[in-house]
C-alpha cells in the first residue's frame, strides 16, 4: 500500500490539482507563521486546523490510489483579490467558498492579496472573507456551471470604520453584520395599538403600504437547481394552482436538501399568503441574512410595512438603501415607511431622491402625490418633482392631477386669483385624459368654489359623484355649494348622503384592518413587552 501511495504521490506532484493544493497549503502555513506570540489556545486551534489540512491531503491521495477509472472533472473556479479601502492588498485573509451554510473550501490570500478557490461541481456559491480586526464581507450569490471561472474583487474595511462597502465587481455585496434594533414578538389586533395621525393620513399610510407591496416582482422563479430543483418546480406548480399549503411543504423539503436564501424568500411569500405573517417576516429576515440582495431587503421591509411596523420597516429600507444605493424602489419603500411613522418631510426627501435615480419611473411621483394630498402645506421638493413627472409623462392623468394639487396649494394663498389658472388647466387636462378620474373633478369643484363660481363648482361635484357615488367628500362639498346658492333642501340631502358614505367607508376600513394582522414590535432601546397570547 505504501509503495502504491508513494507512486501516486509522485504522479500527482506533476498535476495542476496537486499544485493548487500544495500552493494553498503553503499560503495557509505561511500566514500562521506570520502571527506573533500565539496563545496556547490559538496554538491548539492551529494544530487542529493543520491536522485537518493534512488529513484532507491524505484523503485526496487515497481517493486517487483506489480510483481505477477516474471520470473527467470540470471544476468551477473562483479567483480574485482582496484589498483595503486604499487599494492595498490584504494578505492572510481567510476566503471561504460556501454553498448555503456549508463551507466547500477555504484558503488564505497571499502577499499580493489574491486567492483561488475551486469546487468539483457546479451550484450556487458565495464568497466570504474574514480577517481579525476587519469587517467580514459576503459577496453576491454566484450561479456556477461546471467549468465556469469567476473573478471577484473584494474591499475590506477595518473594524470601527462604520462602513459596509462592496467591491466594484460585486456592487450589492454587503454582510448583514449588525442585528436589527427590533424584534417581531408576535401579532395583535390593530385596535390594540391605536392609530397615529388623522384618518386621512392613516388611510394614505395603508394605501402606500399596499402600493409598496405591488412593487415586488410577481414573476415566478425557480430558486435553485440541482438536488432540490424538483421540489422547487413542484412548489411553483402548486403556487400557480393556488395550493399555497402544498407549495410551502415542497419548499420546506427543498430547504432540507439545500439551504438557500431564495428558498426562504419563497417560503416567506407563501406564509404571507397563508395568513401567517409572523413566520413570513422571519423567513424574509433569514433570506436577507443569507443573501443581502436588493430583492431580499425590499421584501423584508415591505412585509414589516404591510403589517404596520413602520419604524422597523424604515430601518430595513435604510439598510437596503445603504447596500444598494442605486435602487429607486428601496428609497420609495423607505419614503412610505417614514411617512407611516410620521416623518413627512423626510419621507418626501427620500421619494424625491428615488425620482432622481429613475426619472421615468412613475412610482416615486405617485407616492409623492398621495402624500401631497394629505399635507396641509406644500412639502419640500414635491412640486419640483411633480412638475418633472408631467414633463416626463404629459399624457398621464395622475401626473397632471397631482401636480395641479401641488400648484393649487402654493397659489391659493396668492392675492392674485389669476395665478390659479395653472392648476385649473392641469386639472382640466387630467379629466380630459381620464374622464373617470373622480378626484380631479372634486378638486376642480373646490377650485371653482374658491373663485366664487358656484354653478361651475356644482357641475364639477356632480360629475365626481356620477363617477363615484360613494365619494363622501364630493357630497359634502356639493352640500356647501347648494347652501351658497340658497338651495337648502338639496344641501341637506347631500349632507345626509355624505354621512352615509362616511359610515360605509369607516365600516369597510375597519373590516380590512381587522383582517390584516399587525406586528407587535419590541425595540431594543425600550422596555420589553409580553407578546400577545
At 382, list the grid cell: 414635491
Decide yes or no: CATH 2.102.10.10 for domain 73-175: no
Predicted pLDDT of residue 101 = 60
Predicted pLDDT of residue 210 = 93
Predicted pLDDT of residue 411 = 74
* pTM exceeds 0.85 for this model: no
Q: Express each pLDDT in 191-245 by its tens digit.
A: 444 434 456 678 888 899 999 999 987 655 556 555 567 888 888 899 999 999 9
Hey, which residues does 84 pair with through a beta bridge?
A: 156
- Pick from 119, 127, 108, 107: nearest CA to 170: 127
- Pick from 261, 337, 331: nearest CA to 293: 261
The helix/strand/coil state of 103 is: strand
Q: Express each pLDDT in 138-183 by its tens digit.
A: 766 676 778 888 888 888 776 544 433 333 333 333 445 567 878 7
Q: Is the pLDDT of residue 125 over 50?
A: yes
Give the C-alpha distances (Å, rounded to integers) separating 233 from 19, 146, 286, 400. Answer: 41, 22, 22, 45
Q: Express each pLDDT in 509-527 by its tens digit.
A: 777 777 777 777 777 665 4
Query: What are the percentages of helix, strand and coil residues in the chain, rounded to 5?
Result: 60, 10, 30
C-alpha angle with apex 236: 232 to 241, nearest 5 degrees? 145
Q: Express each pLDDT in 314-338 by its tens digit.
A: 999 999 999 999 999 999 999 999 9
Q: Are 457 and 481 in contact (CB under 8 A)?
A: yes
Higher-pLDDT residue of 354, 135: 354
Which CATH architecture fits 196-324?
A: Alpha Horseshoe (1.25)
* Cα 277 to Cα 467: distance, rounded to the nearest angstrom: 36
Predicted pLDDT of residue 14 = 45
* Cα 217 to Cα 295: distance, rounded to the nearest angstrom: 9
Q: Is the pLDDT of residue 95 over 60?
A: yes
Q: Are 369 and 385 in contact (CB under 8 A)?
A: no
Helices and strands: H and E segment counts in the chain = 21, 10
Residue-wise DSSP of 392-448: H-TT-HHHHHHHHHHHHHHHTT-S-GGGGHHHHHHHHHHHHH-TT-HHHHHHHHHHH
Amino acid at each position: 500500500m505504501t509503495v502504491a501511495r508513494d507512486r501516486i504521490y509522485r504522479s500527482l506532484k506533476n498535476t495542476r490539482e496537486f499544485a493548487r493544493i500544495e500552493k494553498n497549503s503553503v499560503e495557509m502555513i505561511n500566514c500562521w507563521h506570520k502571527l506573533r506570540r500565539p496563545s496556547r489556545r490559538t496554538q491548539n486551534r492551529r494544530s487542529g486546523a493543520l491536522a485537518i489540512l493534512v488529513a484532507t491531503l491524505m484523503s485526496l491521495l487515497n481517493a486517487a490510489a483506489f480510483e481505477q477509472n477516474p471520470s473527467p472533472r470540470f471544476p468551477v473556479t473562483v479567483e480574485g483579490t482582496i484589498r483595503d479601502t486604499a487599494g492595498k492588498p490584504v494578505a492572510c485573509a481567510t476566503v471561504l467558498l460556501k454553498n448555503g451554510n456549508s463551507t466547500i473550501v477555504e484558503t488564505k490570500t497571499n502577499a499580493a492579496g489574491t486567492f483561488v478557490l475551486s469546487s468539483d461541481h457546479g451550484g450556487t456559491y458565495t464568497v466570504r472573507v474574514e480577517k481579525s480586526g476587519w469587517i467580514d464581507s459576503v459577496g453576491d450569490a454566484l450561479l456556477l456551471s461546471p467549468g465556469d471561472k469567476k473573478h471577484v474583487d473584494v474591499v475590506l474595511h477595518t473594524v470601527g470604520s462604520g462602513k459596509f462597502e462592496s467591491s466594484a465587481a460585486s456592487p450589492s455585496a454587503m454582510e448583514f453584520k449588525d442585528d436589527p434594533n427590533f424584534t417581531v414578538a408576535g401579532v395583535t389586533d390593530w385596535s390594540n395599538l391605536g392609530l397615529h395621525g388623522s384618518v386621512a393620513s392613516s388611510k394614505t399610510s395603508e394605501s402606500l403600504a399596499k402600493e409598496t407591496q405591488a412593487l415586488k416582482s410577481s414573476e415566478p422563479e425557480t430558486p435553485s437547481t440541482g438536488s432540490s430543483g424538483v421540489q422547487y418546480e413542484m412548489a411553483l406548480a402548486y403556487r400557480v394552482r393556488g395550493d399555497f399549503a402544498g407549495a410551502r411543504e415542497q419548499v420546506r423539503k427543498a430547504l432540507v436538501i439545500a439551504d438557500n436564501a431564495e428558498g426562504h424568500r419563497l417560503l416567506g411569500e407563501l406564509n404571507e399568503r397563508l395568513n401567517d405573517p409572523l413566520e413570513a417576516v422571519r423567513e424574509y429576515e433569514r433570506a436577507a441574512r443569507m443573501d443581502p440582495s436588493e430583492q431580499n431587503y425590499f421584501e423584508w421591509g415591505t412585509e414589516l410595512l404591510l403589517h404596520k411596523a413602520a419604524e422597523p420597516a424604515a430601518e430595513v429600507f435604510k439598510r437596503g438603501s445603504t447596500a444598494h444605493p442605486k435602487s429607486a424602489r428601496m428609497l420609495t419603500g423607505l419614503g412610505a415607511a417614514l411617512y407611516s411613522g410620521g416623518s413627512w418631510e423626510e419621507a418626501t426627501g427620500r421619494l424625491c431622491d428615488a425620482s432622481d435615480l429613475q426619472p421615468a419611473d412613475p412610482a416615486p411621483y405617485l407616492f409623492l402625490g398621495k402624500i401631497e394630498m394629505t399635507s396641509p402645506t406644500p412639502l419640500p421638493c414635491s412640486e419640483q418633482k411633480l412638475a418633472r413627472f408631467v414633463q416626463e409623462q404629459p399624457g398621464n392623468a395622475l401626473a397632471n392631477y397631482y401636480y395641479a394639487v401641488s400648484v393649487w396649494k402654493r397659489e391659493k394663498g396668492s392675492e392674485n386669483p389669476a395665478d390659479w389658472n395653472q392648476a385649473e388647466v392641469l386639472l382640466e387636462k387630467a379629466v380630459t385624459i381620464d374622464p373617470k378620474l373622480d378626484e380631479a373633478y372634486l378638486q376642480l369643484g373646490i377650485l371653482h368654489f374658491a373663485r366664487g363660481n358656484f354653478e361651475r363648482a356644482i357641475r364639477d361635484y356632480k360629475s365626481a359623484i356620477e363617477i363615484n357615488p360613494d365619494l363622501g367628500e364630493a357630497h359634502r362639498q356639493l352640500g356647501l355649494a347648494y347652501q351658497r346658492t340658497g338651495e337648502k333642501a338639496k344641501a341637506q340631502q347631500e349632507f345626509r348622503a355624505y354621512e352615509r358614505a362616511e359610515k360605509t367607508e369607516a365600516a369597510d376600513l375597519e373590516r380590512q384592518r381587522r383582517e390584516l394582522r399587525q406586528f407587535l414590535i419590541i425595540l431594543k432601546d425600550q422596555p420589553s413587552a409580553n407578546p400577545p397570547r
